[in-house]
Amino acid sequence: MLPETPKPTPVRLQKFLADCGVASRRHAEVLIQAGRVTVNGSMVTTLGSKVQPDTDRVAMGGRPVVPPTTCRTIMLNKPRGYVCSASALDGRIIYELLEAIPERLTYAGRLDKDSEGIVILSNDGDLVQRLTHPRFDPEKVYQVTVSGTVDSAVLNQLNAPMEIDGYRTQPAQVRVLRPSAKTGRTLLSFILREGRNRQIRRMCEAVGLTINRLVRVQIKALPLGNLQPGQWRELTPGEISRLRGA
């Protein structure tokens, strides 16, 4: 007798959505709880629900969700004024800059509307998870131009854990790149290993600094380079391996 063909293993719904490039796992959980996901025509709002990728019909917002046939990962230099969102109700969205890309790509970490710099987008769910979940130590580097006094006491405060919305942040690494001159502005480097909502802006506000410009210039070992604002490019297999930490 021929051996039986093993049945495909069911996967958690949020992982399936992430693997299909719909959203990161954490954002997928929000979509599920909001009632935007159906399985075989029925709404599913329970986290941890499992689906059979080969046979179950999954939809998000009425649109079928299917696994990608090929993985694609790009780097975008997000300009100021654009938001990391898929909804046009939020204003100008980064996907307006990616109209030439037919695949559904998920951003791996947000930048707020007034921030600029590197954003990674991919339909590789595992890669997005590695770039967004704190346990993978997704180090990010920012260059921040501020107004206000930056002395040793302020730097000590910025480098220490801070309370933000009842959460105690991990210590950041903050140093001066260029001291203030006649303009009274100072260029700082921030290295973070977590991405709390508007964390750098809240940190600076807590020590009396005003942010004039905030640019994310590196994610893990991948720098922004000379990519111009509003432009994007494909990542090489080697660059993707660096992002995975391989």
Examine the residue annotation and report whether 151 is marked as an active-site residue of this protein: no
Report CA dihedral (214, 220, 222, 225) to the nearest 10 degrees: 20
Helix 199-206 vs helix 152-159: crossing angle, to nearest 10: 140
Q: Where are the domains of the chain?
A: 11-64, 73-135+222-244, 139-219
Which pLDDT tens digits describe the chain residue by residue (246 residues)? 455 555 668 889 988 888 787 777 888 888 999 999 999 999 999 988 999 888 889 998 888 887 776 789 999 999 999 999 887 777 899 999 998 888 889 899 889 999 999 999 998 888 888 888 777 778 899 999 999 999 999 999 999 999 887 888 889 999 999 987 777 899 999 999 887 778 999 999 999 999 999 999 999 989 999 999 999 999 998 999 888 875
Domains 73-135+222-244 and 139-219 share a fold: yes
- CATH topology assigned to domain 11-64: 3.10.290
Pair 32, 44: CB distance under 8 Å: yes
- Between the two ends of the chain, the Cα-to-Cα distance in Å is 42
What class is the 139-219 domain? alpha beta
Domain 73-135+222-244 in CATH 3.90.1300.10? The answer is no
Q: Which residue out of 19, 54, 90, 112 is catalytically annotated?
A: 112
3-state secondary structure of 159: helix
